[in-house]
Structure 1
């Protein structure tokens, strides 16, 4: 059975810098789209499209409050990203250790 790509995955969702900024903005509090849009030099419609991508990836949730829709961060899907990145930490640690050794070596 082949799954259809109807939803965005976490990696696709965070690939865009605007969506990464949206996640940071929503990390502190739940916000309506009108307030969110004030932080970006793009249209409210464009912000809404970015929020839908993040929602499809499970990174934000929305709730109707009166006439407005409020969005908030759902950080749980970022665990997948953290696990993937943690694999590469061993390489970074080796490179940083080598750099430290090089810098601390007396090059007289």
Structure 2
């Protein structure tokens, strides 16, 4: 399973790619000086290149659902929803500050 995690709810956003049996294989932080809407898709391409993957090879897209700024949430949720239309892919939200068990 290959997972792309998208975090745009906070000012310091980021992206990460995980693979079953390998764990974290690539990550990047979003530039806090630019808006996430300006940089997100280029950074998605960058992190997938670092991971040696194409978008169609993703199985899961995890996207932060808050808490955070409404616009930042939409910036992440839109591409996640789009990627989930690929055959075999699915997306799901995660809460950024939810305590771990």
TM-score scaled to structure 2, two decimals?
Answer: 0.30
Task: Specify which structure has the higher proportion of strand.
Answer: 2
TM-score scaled to structure 1, two decimals?
Answer: 0.29
Instruction: Compare CA radii of gyration and give the structure with the larger one.
Output: 1
